[in-house]
Structure 1
Amino acid sequence: MDKFTKRWVQHLRNTSRQATPPRNPRCPLCDAAFEPNLDAFKAHVRSNSLKHATFTGDTDVEEAFKTIVLQEKDGNEAPSSTVKPSPDTQIGCVAAGKRPVSGNVEQGDPAGDELDRLKLASDGTLSSRRGSKRRCSPPASFTQQHGSPPLTPSRGKAQQRNSIDDFDRGLRQRNQTARQLWVPDDDRREILPPATRTNQTRQGAGAGPGASSSTAHRRPPRQRKRWRHHHLSNETSWSPMRLQMPHQPNTRSITSDQLLSEVKGIYAGLILLEAKCIEYDTTLRTVDLNDNQYHAMISLHQSLLHEHHDFYLSSHHPSACDALQEIAVSYAMPARMWRHGIHSFLELLRLKLPGSLEYLLLFIYIAYSSMALLMETVPKFRATWIECLGDLGRYRMAIDDNGQGSRELWTGVAKYWYIQASDDAPTVGRLYHHLAILARGNMLQQLFLYSKSLCVQVPFESAKDSITTLFKPLMDPKSSANQQSDPVYAAFVRVHGILFLDEAMDQIGSSMSQFVDSLDDRIGTERRDWIESGYYVGISLGCLILGFGDKSSLLMQALSSPSADDAGENEERRSDDTDSDTDSGTDDVAPCELIFDTAISFAAAAYKVVLRRQTDENTLACVHTILAFFFFMSKRPAALKLLDDRFPWHFVAVYLNHMLETSEFPPRIDTMAFPGPEKQEAPRPLPEDYAMHGLIYTEDYFPANWFDNDKIEEDEKYIERPSTMLYRRERVLWIGRMIARQERWLVWDDEEETFGVPG
């Protein structure tokens, strides 16, 4: 406790010795400090006349200077008057053996002297002023202890004054300043207009004896003047003219010539960086790089990406002409950016794995952020940027070594971008090829995606090499992949591989039998899960009949003929060519016919198994894809001759009649219009609609705006809602009714309202 007391006494001594340094006054309008004299304030006002527009003459300047000095004086007097005698002062008096005098001790006040100088500076005179007086009286216990004689009272008032002086600590002197307690009427009186305040003053002056009570709360004249000046200065500084905002910021317009010159300059620098990237990406493939070289290469390619970004922003400026906006397309800038700025360097880093793993990850993140920025700022090439983001996600997934969770995360990211790109361009097979690579582990989905990439309007020919990697292990009986995979779907994929590669034909019979014999049990085992597997099977079988989109297949040749007559002429021409060149013709036609016959026989056998499950609604998705394929073929006379008597239409009629009998609501099958949503609602495609979107045989199946509903989230597209099965049932019945209108494979009995087969 003694240590704490000593430290507290030392602290009080130190704080009592500190003096408040003088400070320069500040302008009330601009809050800038100036020297404490009138000339300096005048020079400050003239230096910025806009901010001091309220000072119209020297008189206003002098009056403002006096007001500022008074404010500074009152501000500095307040802290000095609140200083109380510290305990260490009293202790010091006791230690010296001196009795503190209970009177007024004159002390110099440097703060007050400085304020006096500031006040009198405008008059050009300087004078000193005696400081405020402080009283220091000892405690009563100390006075009694030293035997000080009591004061002799002369009068009552004198005795009262002396008793107050004995215990005075400066509080009475502090209350004798010009400051008054705040009264609500003061602020209200300052806010009122001058005329109102004058009337109130006159009424208060003539109020008789009651006026003294109201006068007691008034401010002294000098302080009211300072308050009024401060209020007026605030009103002036916050006038509406000063707060008026501009309609729009001032901008410099750019001309077409300036913009063209800017684009040329950016393109010149871009060419230099692109040449450097091409050179280094080629020459450094066989060179071991150190850390500095890796960082230099990353900086070089990052600079190229930045130049491309500047080029796109400049060429797509709102002031750019049409020719300038198309220059990026003319020079194939997006493809060049991906090839030379990203892909070539990624391949270089991939070849140097595992030593380059850290830098490969770093550059993938840099490129990913650049592509995301371009997708927001240059929406014209949105499809390209989305595909680039998917490719970067696929690279990140391929090199991931942090575990299965991280790999699945980046697989989902890449799928998200590829699915968005395929929705924007459903006829581009390259996107389905990339999705098939990401679907490793699900051979049925991989087969569907690879097949679709070859059977769209813009097929991806490189998918033929990729799909071979799926078929080869399953065709090898000793392969581990053949043993670890699902035997039912492995047999299904193996049949496609044998017919696609035209190899291992000795396994075709056993593989077909294995799948067909096990299909019924598999449908019953998977139940609702077979809805998705069902349309994978149906679409894959349709692509198998098409010969995987190969132009040399029989059905693709028939589809290229506009009519049956042309198909007959083509057959005669093909027979003539066969007679002239028997050897070559026999070698080409016979394998195609054999493959087509095997494919249609396998599809028909699988369809019979599915159609026999009439009471199982989980087979509706598969039947939907089958009937959509034959609905397209029914309108092509050349294809009809190849498919006649090859499909079990009797089972189809029985299946459709059972659905008619069990339908809770009358289906819309008597109309030619596509059975879309009712009451002008937004279209909601079925899950298999997205799977069939873009295929050759569905190009005229869906309405034009069937996939334009942007409110459907990506995760909601493949969700089976309670109403999904009702719409699917109606769709299947509508397709059957449309095929029956041809009266070739199916017929419709108007009286019985049932389906049948001709003859």
Structure 2
Amino acid sequence: MAPETHPMTEEQLVHEVEAIYAGLVIVEIGCIRTVKKLYNEPEELTVLQWQDLTAEHRVLLHQHFDFFLASSHPVANKSLKTLANTYSMPTRLWRHGIHSFLELLRKKLPSSLGHMHEFINIAYKNITSLLESVPDYKETWIECLGDLARYRMAIEEKDMGQRELYTRIARYWYTKAADLNPDVGRVQHHLAVLARPNLLQQLFYYTKALTSVQPFTEARKSILLLFGPLLDPAKAATKYSEHYPRALTVFVEAHGVLFTRNDAFTFLRLAEKFLSELDKHARLVGPLFREQGVYITASNYAAIFDYGHDDAKIPSMFNQDGLIQTGTFEILEQACKYRQNPACVQVGIEHRVDGISSSEQVASMASHFAFATLNVLLDRSEDRNILPSVHVSLAFLWCMAMVPESMTRIQADVPWERLATYLNTLINPDTDMAGIENGEFPAQESGLRQLPEDFLIHGLSWSRMYYPLDFFSDMAEDDERSIELPSVMVPRTKRCLWLASKIAKFNCWLVYNAKDCRFCATKFAHDLATLSQKYQIIRRTDSIISSSI
């Protein structure tokens, strides 16, 4: 006969958790003291010392696991279930149970390499078990798993296959973390680090980290590691690699000058160089430009936000609590009233001729550059590989239009007439423009709801004005998102036309003629173009115009 068992009472569980926590604290204090003592000692540790340290931290991880399991037991009361938060247990697990020991191991490399491999495996298994058993903290566990994979990637210097494997694993976990917390810039910063050596992808993720709903300001330091070699005169001879497109290197370098508020003349030279090479680059890379174009476009719009700098004007316009709490209809109603008698101005446009030493000047110059870039892309009207970047631009303009004070800082730079001409190429005889114009946010009738570029701009401070609340509730796995079937062209085109029709409803910059099924720029847009011409300091060369498709 099996022995008789009795379910655990609440009182017994409380005593159990108290006992586990008391033991955990003792081990934790020991780990903190030992690591702190050894961190600054120059002597190499013996194998026995490493084994003892690893065992001590393994015990601490097991204590944490037991604590989380017991405090989330089905019979636990509310007070017990909130104990992990009260005592900051997830943070303490990472900081004292894993991170500090990993930093000690890293400092003692290469002699500690084998021990570091061993401990990363121990920690990874522990966190994986917590992810399965204590899902209430899955956001923390997922980010921890990404961090552990990144540590493993960073110490793999010989086997490039293994390094790439752990890079993919880290990216997998960080992408999951970004899906759960799209507004958190810190996770975008992690993805930027993993993007090395891809300069453009690094720029995109660093700038996204700085202009997310919850910006990660530490990225201001990290991004300088990207810009440093490109801006260093001593490394001028080696910054252009035959293995990386020159146009993209020039683009990232131009952003480096703008970000550091360096020399305006240098920025203009680089901007003009990039614009002169952009058409040829887009033609050469073909389908790769679908993703590259989004990186370029989104990075340019991050520059208009002055990369989230403290004294930037536009980010604060999108961070108003009242704006986010207000319904879309009310926002549109207010924006339409604002546009009833629009003034032909662009706030700050005159500042760009004075340099790039202030936030106002950076934003104005960035607007000039961003829409000069869009202008070049719109010339490629037969190239559907530019459509993702045009989609992002239309989404950006729609969101800016809903925040009138922000739109007044870019509206003269936007090539409205060229945009209208391009939009008309997207309209076919069988296009249901009446349904698009009067319908809600276009949802795909079958397959995935999201387009690849939706995931890239999700979480930016301006893009939350664009998407319906439940739009990202059902998402594809990371490795499926970049797979683009020809059928994606239809919903992407529909989105572009829907956004354009929404912008046209302001009757301000664009109008849509339902009878002719055509968009056209307004007289106000032409007046803005005349204003913009007075401040055109980035010049397009003849080669740009002549090489368009």
TM-score of the aligned structures, taking structure 1 as reference length: 0.62
Using the TM superposition, give the Cα deviation of residue 454 of structure 1 relative to its aligned residue in structure 2, in angstroms: 0.8
- Cα deviation for residue 468 of structure 1 reads 0.5
Equivalents in 2 of 1:668, 1:478: separation in Å?
A: 58
Distance apart, 1:589 and its partner CA: 11
User: In structure 2, what is the Cα distance between the partners aligned to 1:272 and 1:264?
Assistant: 13
Give the match's secondary structure for 2:512. strand
Do residues 482 (structure 1) and 239 (structure 2) align?
A: yes
Match of 2:186 in 1: 430
Q: Which residue of 1 aligns with 2:461?
A: 696
Kept in 2: contact 1:683–1:707 (CA 8 A):
no
Give the Cα separation in 2 of the matches to 1:478 and 1:464: 23
User: How big is the shift at 1:697?
Assistant: 1.1
Given that 1:454 and 1:461 are in contact with CA atoms closer than 8 Å, whether structure 2 keeps it comes out as yes
Mapped pair 1:550 → 2:304: no
Q: Deviation digits for residues 513-538 of structure 1, max 9, x if unmatched?
A: 11000001111111111111111111
Q: 1:372 to 1:596 in 2, by over 3 A?
A: same
Answer whether contact 1:450 1:463 (CA < 8 A) is retained: yes
* Number of residue equivalences: 490
SS in 2 for 1:747: strand
Structure 1 residue 705, shift from structure 2 partner: 2.1
Percent identity over the alignment is 40
> Counterpart of 2:17?
263
Q: 1:605 aligns with which of 351, 372, 379?
A: 372
Inter-partner Cα distance in structure 1 for 2:82 and 2:125: 25
Partner amino acid for 2:246? P
Among 279, 284, 294, the alignment partner of 1:525 is: 284
SS of the equivalent of 1:748 reads strand
Structure 1 contact 683–706 (Cα < 8 Å) conserved: no
Could you tell me which of 247, 252, 255 is aligned with 1:496? 255
> Could you tell me how far apart the structure 2 residues matched to 1:588 and 1:257 are?
70
1:667 and 1:730 in contact (8 A); partners too: no
Instruction: Return the letter of the residue paired with 1:357.
Output: L
Cα displacement (A) at 1:627: 0.8
3-state SS in 2 of match to 1:738: helix
CA deviation after TM superposition for structure 1 residue 672, in Å: 4.2
Distance across 1 between alignment mates of 2:103 and 2:357: 44
Indicate conservation of the 8 Å contact 2:297/2:389, yes or no.
yes
Alignment of 1:270-289 (within 5 A): 270-285=24-39, 286=41, 287-289=43-45
Check whether the contact 2:261–2:357 (CA below 8 A) recurs between aligned residues: no
Q: Distance in 1 between matches of 2:384 and 2:4?
A: 67
| 1:686-741 Cα shifts (integer Å, max 9, x gaps) | 0000101111111131122222225x332111111121011111110100000001
What is the identity, as a one-letter code, of the residue corresponding to 1:402?
A: K
In 2: Cα distance, 1:541 partner to 1:251 partner: 66
Partner of 1:755: 519
In the alignment, residue 90 of structure 2 is paired with which amino acid?
Answer: P
Letter of the 2:367 counterpart: I
Deviation at 1:557, TM superposition (A): 4.2
Partner of 1:22: none
Q: For the residues of structure 1 that align with 2:287 and 2:413, how far apart are their CA atoms?
A: 29
* 1:404 to 1:667, Cα distance in 2 relative to 1, 3 A: farther
- Residue 7 (structure 2) aligns with: 253
Distance 2:12 2:319 in 1: 53
With over 3 angstroms needed to count, the CA separation of the structure-2 counterparts of 1:256 and 1:730, relative to structure 1, is same
Please tell me whether the aligned partners of residues 372 and 389 of structure 1 are also in contact (alpha carbons under 8 angstroms): yes
Cα offsets for 1:380-436 (capped at 9, x unmatched): 111111111110100000001332111101111111111111111111111111111
1:604 shift after superposition? 1.5
Change (3 A) 1:643 1:251: same
Matched-pair contact (CA < 8 Å) for 2:293–2:386: yes
Q: 1:625 aligns with which of 385, 392, 400?
A: 392
Separation of aligned partners in 1, 2:459 and 2:34: 41
SS of 2:308's partner is coil
Q: Distance in 2 between matches of 1:412 and 1:266?
A: 36
- 1:417 pairs, out of 162, 170, 173, with 173
Tell me, what secondary structure is at the counterpart of 2:470?
Answer: coil
Write the distance in 1 (CA, Å) between the matches of 2:281 and 2:15: 68
The Cα offsets for residues 98-155 of structure 1, whole Å up to 9 and x where unpaired, read as xxxxxxxxxxxxxxxxxxxxxxxxxxxxxxxxxxxxxxxxxxxxxxxxxxxxxxxxxx
The farther-off stretch of 589-598 and 601-610 is: 589-598
Distance 2:434 2:294 in 1: 22
For 2:4 and 2:317, how far apart are their aligned partners in 1?
A: 67
User: Is the contact between residue 559 and residue 638 of structure 1 (CA under 8 Å) also seen in structure 2?
Assistant: no
Cα 1:543/1:407, change in 2 over 3 Å: same
State the one-letter code of the partner of 1:689: D
Which residue of 2 is the match for residue 294 of structure 1? 50
Compare relative contact order (CA 8 Å, sep 6+) and give the higher one, 1 or 2.
2
Which residue number corresponds to residue 452 of structure 2?
687
Given the superposition, is the C-alpha separation of residues 294 and 696 from structure 1 closer, same or farther in structure 2, using an over 3 Å criterion? same
Instruction: Within 5 Å, give how 1:350-749 maps onto structure 2.
Output: 350-479=106-235, 481-484=238-241, 485-559=244-318, 591-661=358-428, 668-678=435-445, 683-710=448-475, 712-749=476-513
Secondary structure at 1:622's aligned position in 2? helix
Q: Is this contact kept in 2: 1:448–1:539, CA < 8 A?
A: yes
Amino acid at match of 1:472: G
1:665: how far off?
6.1
Larger Rg computed on CA atoms: 1
Which deviations, in whole Å up to 9, do the C-alpha atoms of 1:587-623 show, x marking residues without a partner?
9997222212211111111111001111111110010
Q: Distance in 1 between matches of 2:262 and 2:410?
A: 25
| CA displacement 1:274-328 (0-9 Å, x = unmatched) | 0000000100111431111110000000000000001011100000001100100
Pairing of 1:89-128 with structure 2 (within 5 A): none
- Contiguous gaps of at least 5 residues in structure 1: 1-245, 567-586
- Opposite residue 674 of structure 1, the aligned amino acid is F
Shift of 1:554: 2.9
* 1:687/1:718 contact within 8 Å kept: yes
List per-residue Cα deviations over 1:204-258 (Å, max 9, x = no partner): xxxxxxxxxxxxxxxxxxxxxxxxxxxxxxxxxxxxxxxxxx9x99531111111
The answer to whether the 8 A contact 2:28-2:60 is kept is: yes
Structure 1 pair 560–462 and aligned structure 2 pair: CA distance change class (3 A): closer
Give, as a single letter, the amino acid of the residue that structure 2 aligns with 1:684. R
AA of the residue aligned to 2:312: S
Q: Given that residues 264 and 356 in structure 2 are in contact (C-alpha distance below 8 angstroms), is that contact kept between their aligned partners in structure 1?
A: no
Provide the C-alpha distance between the structure 2 equivalents of 1:434 and 1:663, rounded to a whole number of angstroms. 45
| Residues 1:481 and 1:627: Cα distance change in structure 2 (over 3 Å) | farther
SS of the residue aligned with 1:284? Answer: helix
Find the aligned partners of 2:88 and 2:355 in 1 and give their Cα distance: 40
SS at match of 1:755: strand
Q: Distance in 2 between matches of 1:601 and 1:697?
A: 19
- Matched residues in 1 for 2:501 and 2:209: separation? 30
CA contact (8 A) 1:475 1:504 kept: no
CA deviation after TM superposition for structure 1 residue 373, in Å: 0.8
Q: Is the 8 A contact 1:682 1:709 kept in 2?
A: no
Q: Which runs of 5+ in 2 are unaligned?
A: 324-333, 339-353, 524-549
Q: Mark the CA change 1:364 to 1:448 in structure 2 (over 3 Å): closer, same or farther.
A: same
Alpha-carbon offset, residue 630 of structure 1: 0.7
Q: Which amino acid counterpart does residue 714 of structure 1 have in structure 2?
A: D
Question: For 1:485-532, what per-residue CA distance to the aligned partner results, in whole angstroms no more than 9, with x for missing partners?
Answer: 432011111111111111243311210111000001111111111111
Distance change in 2, residues 1:590/1:345 (3 Å): closer
Q: CA deviation at 1:684?
A: 2.1
Equivalent position amino acid for 1:421 in 2: A
Matched residue type, 1:256: E
CA distance in 2, matches of 1:640, 1:435: 30
Separation in 1 of the partners of 2:361 and 2:394? Answer: 24
How far apart, CA to CA, are the structure 2 residues paired with 1:402 and 1:560? 46
Compared with structure 1, are the counterparts of its residues 662 and 591 closer, same or farther at alpha carbon in structure 2 (3 Å cutoff)?
farther
